[in-house]
Structures are given as structure tokens and as C-alpha cells.
């Protein structure tokens, strides 16, 4: 069984790289973009400061835990929020004292992030951008590049990773949350992704509104999380060693990973390319 899993994992990795420069012509890429536009503009997930105000302190604590950095480190640091979505991580980082540059491919995400972070004024700058394209920002200009649950939806996770990795200063950090490929050490992961695929197939012919309502009927209060996972057609998963290889090749060291089913990885840039 492990052998079969390893072979499928290797094949999926190769196929992703082969499709990376053409994925934006596929219907699945357009559907993924439309799904996130809908999520940020037409569901409670977008206006999180009203729908989930408890996330403020939770996400601020999560930034501390995931980066493993002390509170005093954040004050005055330049931080990139790559794929800001509703703006909850931009808010958390700014509240810790960072100057945040936030980007998202969704204009609805840009709008919500600006609104969520309005109290910080010019400390938070937000603009629209596709992470599969190089960002119009100076190389080696950020103390921390933060990307939570975003790159695995682009269709070119590796290329998008490289676009943000080049922006980290020597001695700075990168944090990535990426979906973990299920493995034999956690059999529940296989069932979870099977359920995600069942939902995706059951809702494939629906409008995005119908899809959200259907998942709400099936999953109840957890509809937002399941919609986030099942609605986008591009939803790649990765083994840890593949991500660590990318980081190593870009000069990152001192890896840290949270104890979580998905990958929450922080690394420090010590040997820039």
C-alpha cells in the first residue's frame, strides 16, 4: 500500500509541474478563481470581522505560534501577506506591529482586507495580483513572507512559492500553510480528501450560490471550511519532503513545523540564491 501511495505521489508531482504553464487555460483554473471571488464577496467568510470576531485574538496567537518569533520581533517589520483573502492574517500581523503589504487575485478579497485593516491606515497596503506572476515588489525587501492556505490553489504552487521567496531578506523568514498529502501515518487524511472529492462531484453542475447552500445543508455550521476545500477545482496536496526541497533550494534553513495534519512551515533565509 505504501509503495502505491509513493508512486501516485511522485506522478502527481510530475503532472503538476508539466501543467503549471498551461493551467490558466483550463476551466478548472477559472472555476477556482470564481469560487474564491464568491467566497470573499457573497458569504460570511469575506466579512470575517463581523461574522467571526473571535478570530482576531486567535489568529494573532496563531501568528506567534506558527512563526515561533517573540512579540518584540514583529514591531516595525516589513511583511508580505501573499493571498490575503478576507484580511484576517493581515489584521493579525498589523496588530503585532508589522507594516503589511497584502495581495490577492480577488478584488473582493482586496476590498475586504482594506476594510478589515482600516484602523491601521498606511501601515497596511493592499493590491490585486496573481501570485503565479512575479510581484511588482523589490527583491529581498521583506522580513517575513506569509502565505496561509493559498499557493496550493494556484495551479503552480512551486512557481508561486518562488515568486514570493525571492522577496525575503537575508535572515528573514517565510511561512507557508499548504495542504498535506495524506499518508499511512494518518489514515483519516485519505477519508477527508475522499469526502472533499465527493462534495466536489456532487456540486459540480451547480452555481456557486447553490454549491454553498448545498454544502451548508450537508455540513451545517462547518459549511465555510468545507466550501473552501471542496469548491475550488485546484486543491493540491503535498508531502513534506517536497516542500522542504523547495525551501532548501532557495536558501532557507532552520525549518519549523507545527503539529497539525496540514503543513504549517516556517523557515529562515540563510543562504540566498
Q: Rg of the chain's alpha carbons, rounded to an integer?
A: 18
d(CA 207, CA 122): 38
Question: Would you call 96 exposed, middle or buried from its count of C-beta atoms within 10 A (0-12, 13-18, 19+)?
Answer: buried
| Structural domain includes residue 109 | yes
| Structural domain includes residue 220 | no
CATH of residue 157 = 3.40.50.150
| Structural domain includes residue 264 | yes
| Structural domain includes residue 122 | yes
Q: How many domains, in total, are found in the chain? A: 1
**pLDDT tens, residue order, the chain (273 aa):** 677 777 777 877 887 877 778 777 778 888 899 999 999 999 988 888 888 888 899 999 999 999 999 999 999 999 999 999 999 999 999 999 999 999 999 999 999 999 999 999 999 999 999 999 999 999 999 999 999 999 999 999 999 999 999 999 999 999 999 999 988 777 778 899 999 999 999 999 899 999 999 999 999 988 889 999 999 989 999 999 999 999 999 999 999 999 888 999 999 999 887
Single pTM value for the model: 0.93
| Structural domain includes residue 203 | no
How many degrees, rounded to 5, is the angle at CA 96 between CA 36 and CA 135?
45
d(CA 116, CA 121): 11
Contact 142, 167 (CB under 8 A): yes
pLDDT tens-digit readout, 60-108: 999 999 999 999 999 999 999 999 999 999 999 999 999 999 999 999 9
d(CA 185, CA 166): 34
- All three cell numbers of 231, joined, read 469548491
| Structural domain includes residue 56 | yes
| Structural domain includes residue 195 | no
| Structural domain includes residue 234 | yes
Contact 136, 80 (CB under 8 A): no
Helix (H, G, I), strand (E, B) or coil at 256: strand
Q: What pLDDT is stored for residue 14 in this prediction? A: 82
d(CA 115, CA 130): 21
Q: What is the domain extent for residue 168?
A: 2-183+230-269
Amino acid at each position: 500500500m505504501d509503495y502505491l501511495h509513493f508512486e501516485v505521489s511522485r506522478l502527481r508531482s510530475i503532472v503538476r509541474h508539466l501543467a503549471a504553464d498551461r493551467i490558466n487555460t483550463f476551466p478548472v483554473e477559472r472555476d477556482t478563481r470564481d469560487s474564491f471571488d464568491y467566497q470573499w464577496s457573497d458569504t460570511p467568510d469575506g466579512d470575517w470581522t463581523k461574522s467571526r470576531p473571535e478570530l482576531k485574538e486567535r489568529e494573532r496567537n496563531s501568528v506567534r505560534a506558527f512563526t515561533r518569533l517573540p512579540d518584540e520581533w514583529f514591531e516595525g517589520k516589513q511583511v508580505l501577506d501573499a493571498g490575503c483573502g478576507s484580511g484576517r492574517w493581515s489584521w493579525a500581523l498589523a496588530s503585532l506591529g508589522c507594516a503589511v503589504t497584502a495581495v490577492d487575485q480577488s478584488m473582493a478579497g482586496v476590498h475586504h482586507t482594506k476594510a478589515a485593516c482600516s484602523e491601521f491606515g498606511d501601515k497596511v497596503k493592499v493590491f490585486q495580483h496573481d501570485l503565479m506572476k512575479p510581484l511588482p515588489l523589490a527583491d529581498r525587501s521583506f522580513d517575513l513572507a506569509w502565505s496561509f492556505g493559498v499557493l496550493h490553489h494556484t495551479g503552480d504552487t512551486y512557481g508561486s512559492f518562488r515568486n514570493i521567496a525571492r522577496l525575503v531578506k537575508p535572515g528573514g523568514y517565510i511561512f507557508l500553510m499548504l495542504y498535506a498529502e495524506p499518508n499511512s501515518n494518518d489514515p483519516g487524511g485519505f477519508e477527508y480528501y475522499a469526502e472533499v472529492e465527493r462534495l466536489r462531484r456532487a456540486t459540480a453542475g451547480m452555481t456557486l450560490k447553490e454549491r454553498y447552500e448545498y454544502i451548508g445543508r450537508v455540513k451545517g455550521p462547518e459549511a465555510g471550511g468545507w466550501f473552501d476545500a471542496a469548491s475550488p477545482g485546484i486543491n493540491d496536496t503535498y508531502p513534506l519532503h517536497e516542500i522542504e526541497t523547495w525551501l532548501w533550494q532557495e536558501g532557507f534553513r532552520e525549518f519549523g513545523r507545527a503539529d497539525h495534519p496540514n503543513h504549517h512551515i516556517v523557515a529562515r533565509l540563510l543562504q540566498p540564491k
